[in-house]
Amino acid sequence: MPDYDRLGGASVSGDSRELPVPQKAVNLELVKSGGEVYWGVREADGAVLVSQLYDPLEDDPGVRFLTSTAIDDDSRQLRVPDAVYDHWDDVAGGGTAVRGGDRLEFVTTDEMADDEQMLVLPEWQVEDVLGEDEA
């Protein structure tokens, strides 16, 4: 099991579908103001992957590309796209798996950080993906 680094978490807004990226992820330059982020899904465990770089997602046979979104200039607000919400609904077996106010956790590994990637996980998925009890 990889050595995951928890970057922090935040609650997603029900209205804007945005959440602040933890400062630790910004410090590691996993996201940048005014940048574009690419969203994908790891097929092995259904975890949502966010990357500033498109090529590592496209080149990884174990990752399915979903969509991309932009981060506004002078902002660290990450907008979660509909395709990601739809994926989480499917993984959870139907219904609305993530709602406004739900907490999402940001995690990475050294290898993922080298490719400017991190996982964005709903609380209910953290234990299964990371292989640990939620703190």
115 touches 63 (CB < 8 A): no
C-alpha closest to that of 18 among 111, 95, 98: 98
Contacts of residue 84, Cβ cutoff 8 Å, sequence gap at least 6 = 39, 48, 66, 67, 120
- Give the pLDDT confidence score for residue 94 in this predicted structure: 87
pLDDT, position 133? 59
Percent of the chain whose predicted confidence (pLDDT) is above 70: 97
Contact 80, 12 (CB under 8 A): yes
Rounded average pLDDT over 40-49: 96
More confident residue, 32 or 104: 104
Is residue 130 domain-resident?
no
Count up the domains in the chain and report the number.
1
Residue 132 placed within a domain: no
pLDDT, residue 132, reads: 72
For residue 8, what are the CA distances in angstroms to 28, 94, 97? 13, 27, 20
| Cβ-based neighbours of 45, under 8 Å, separated by 6 or more | 128, 129
Residue 131 domain-assigned? no
- 22 lies in a domain? yes
Look at residue 82 in the predicted model and tell me its pLDDT.
Answer: 95
- pLDDT surpassing 60 at residue 18: yes
User: Quick one: average pLDDT of 8-35?
Assistant: 93
Q: Give the per-residue pLDDT at 66.
A: 97
Residue 10 lies in a domain: yes
Count of beta carbons in the 10 Å neighbourhood of residue 16: 11
Average pLDDT, the chain: 93
Q: What is the pLDDT of residues 97-129, one digit of tens each?
A: 999 999 999 999 999 999 999 999 999 999 999
User: Residue 27: inside a domain, yes or no?
Assistant: yes
- Domain annotation covers residue 69: yes
How big is the chain by its Cα radius of gyration, in Å?
Answer: 14
Is the pLDDT score of 135 beyond 80?
A: no
Instruction: Determine the structural domain holding residue 86 and report its residue range.
Output: 5-124
In residues, how long is the chain?
A: 135
Q: Is residue 61 part of a domain?
A: yes
